[in-house]
Amino acid sequence: MLKKIDPTKTNAWASLHELAGEQAQTIKELFKADRSRAKQFSVEWDGLFFDYSKHRIDEEIMDALMDLAKECEVNDGIERMFKGEAINETEDRAVLHVALRNRSNRKTLVGGVDLMPEVNEVLDQMARFSTSVREGDRLGATGKRFKHVVNIGIGGSDLGPVMAVEALKAFQCNMRFHFVSNVDEAHLVETLKQIKAEETLFIIASKTFTTQETMTNAQSAREWFLQQIEDEEAIAKHFVAVSTNEAAVTAFGIDPGNMFRFWDWVGGRYSLWSAIGLPIMLAIGDQAFFKLLEGAHAVDEHVKVKGSQSIPSIMALLGIWYNNFFEAESHAVLPYSQYLSRFPAYLQQADMESNGKSMTRAGVPVRYSTGPIVWGEPGTNGQHAFYQLLHQGTKLIPVDFIAYIKPVHGNGDHHQKLLANFLAQSQALMQGKSVKEAEKELRNEGLKEEEVVKILPFKVFEGNNPSSSILFDEWGAYQLGQLIALYEHKIFIQGLIWNIYSFDQWGVELGKQLAAPILDEMTAKRNGSASSVRFDGSTTELLSRIQRKLK
Ligand code: F6P
């Protein structure tokens, strides 16, 4: 069980409050005062460079943040997770996505049973399957090779694979990958327009195999498929499932032999390392998929050894510094890579479904802010959209910039420009532009005195906006594994300090519960039955308008 420590009762919390209040020097001034700052506040590790020198921190603040981690017993929490304790207490489950990428193959015990043989067995099954599809040994019902893979899933059964397939597109085979998640028919219809049934492999991905969106899309895809290929037996060749629920998979009509298992100790949003990653393996091949696992495993080992001193812990503590001592509400993640365009969306689920909690582990409401709003878009696109607010808006938004040094493609010119922008933005956010600097610029442009006076206030950038830079030497599956695992551990460590449960998601249940009677009501009305449920006034009005217009 995780300890239940109120972070606000720690000595470090009080010190951090004082330090935040006392802070007089800007980041720019801190750089001026200390030439070794960039070295002091950066970590070089396993082909990546984590620079956190452009933060509102000094040695004393970092010490206090480390004390907070110590007083909240972060290392104890990490150890309990790796040991397979049921730290997801409200669901009475262990949290062992780390076992899925345990490339050391060291024993990982739950209830005295080693999980690794089962984990390896499924990985082998995935590898055999993906190789046979990629090499054309496994064909469709009419003897054609698969050209399309359609993954039907939502949340953790979608966002991880979508993000990773996109992130590693440069290393992909020539099959096309499609992801259908939304229950809005448009998502499925527009996908089906692009494919031919006889060349398509459908993966129905759902941990529970009960999720409304996934089951609806899967059923419709099945019907569409049978309209194209009028042979029930062809289903076995074209539909596979990834799930923990064998009974439901069988009831849906998928042979258990075409099912890839995973386990209840894998949270949906932490599942891309499991069979949920099957589309990733199909896209990049088993060997590259294993590299992805290796990258994540390297981070796991780093966290095990370094604990609260690890890179994810530093990321977590910096987040807490702004979230709890400067009232920052959000956190921007800005990858300077088009391949990482879906990374912020992926992180939204990973972070916000994990730490969007307001109850402590002791079951009483928290009295402090927990998980931030996570958002972002790739650079440089974002620069021409929302960066204005980062530079001159009224909100404090800590930023993570992400990039890799070696270009994936040959044209160095594009990449140099991309990296120049990556560097310039964190610099601009930190240093801003003073009145003096802005005035000098305007005068150099030859503006008249009254024009200088008029325009000057708008040209000033306050600066002092904090950011981290995560810079990889190169880009590939290994690095993606590292990147994801860095954030996974960051999220966990923040949850440990905030004294919340990061691995349940009860907050998504209410909406699902309430949709059921509304749907029943709609169906009843369509069948001409009388209304049976009373809704609030607004819902009743909206519902009756929908029903009137649908008639
Ligand atoms: O609605 C939230 C959620 O439970 C996520 O946590 C999960 O990733 C998603 O739904 C999909 O669930 P499943 O894989 O069981 O279909």
Q: Which residues are near ligand 1 (CB < 6 Å)?
A: 154-157, 206-208, 211, 214, 268-269, 353, 505, 508
pLDDT value at 410 more than 90? no
Mean pLDDT is lowest, of 157-171, 351-365, 409-423, for: 409-423
What confidence category does residue 551 fall into, taking pLDDT thresholds of 50, 70 and 90?
A: confident
Tell which residue, 430, 469, 434, 457, has the closest CA to residue 26. 430
In this structure, the number of other CB atoms found within 10 A of the CB of residue 130 comes to 23
Please state, in angstroms and as integers, the Cα–Cα distance from residue 232 to each residue in 226, 235, 241, 259, following that order. 7, 6, 16, 17
The protein residue whose alpha carbon is closest to atom 10 in ligand 1 is 155
Question: Tokens for 215?
Answer: 């089951």
391: its two tokens: 């530079």
Q: Which two structure tokens, joined as six digits, stand for 32?
A: 């001026």
pLDDT at res. 411: 77
Given this model, what pLDDT does residue 398 score? 98
Is the confidence at residue 527, as pLDDT, over 90? no
Domain segments of the chain: what residues? 39-55+328-428+465-485, 111-288, 432-464, 511-550
Give 39-55+328-428+465-485's CATH code, choosing from 2.160.10.10, 3.40.640.10, 3.40.50.10490, 1.10.10.60: 3.40.50.10490
Indicate if the pLDDT at residue 77 is higher than 90.
Answer: yes
Which atom belonging to ligand 1 lies closest to the Cα atom of 271? 8
The reply to whether omega before 380 is within 30° of 0 (cis) is yes
pLDDT band at 441 (very low <50, low <70, confident <90, very high): very high
Bridge pairing between strands 48-51 and 42-45 = antiparallel
- pLDDT at position 337 is 98
pLDDT at 422: 98
Cα–Cα distance for residue pair 461/481, rounded to 1 Å:
37
For 542, phi and psi rounded to 5 degrees?
Answer: -60, -45
Enumerate the active-site residues.
Answer: 353, 384, 512
Residue percentage of the chain with pLDDT more than 70: 100
pLDDT tens, residue by residue, 181-230 = 999 999 999 999 999 999 999 999 999 999 999 999 999 999 999 999 99
Residues 279-306: what's their mean pLDDT? 98
For the four alpha carbons of 506, 370, 110 and 480, in that order, the dihedral sign comes to positive
Per CATH, 39-55+328-428+465-485 and 111-288 having the same topology is answered yes
Give 268's pLDDT tier (boundaries 50, 70, 90). Answer: very high
Is residue 111 scored above 90 in pLDDT? no
CATH topology of domain 111-288: Rossmann fold (3.40.50)
**Over residues 460-481, mean pLDDT:** 98
Give pLDDT, residue 218.
98
Q: Which of 3-12, 72-81, 125-134, 409-418 has the lowest mean pLDDT?
A: 409-418
Residue 215 has a pLDDT of 98
What pLDDT does residue 405 have? Answer: 97
pLDDT value for 503:
98
pLDDT score of 1: 92
User: Which of 90, 152, 157, 354 to mutate for ligand 1's pocket (most ligand atoms within 8 Å of CB)?
Assistant: 157
Residue 534: φ, ψ to 5°: -100, 125
Residue 531 in this model has a pLDDT that exceeds 80: no
Alpha carbons 136 and 146: distance in angstroms, whole number: 8
Pocket mutation for ligand 1, best pick of 90, 181, 208, 211 (most atoms within 8 Å of C-beta): 211
**pLDDT at position 421 over 90:** yes
Q: What is the pLDDT at residue 495?
A: 98
Q: Considering the entire predicted model, what is its pTM?
A: 0.97
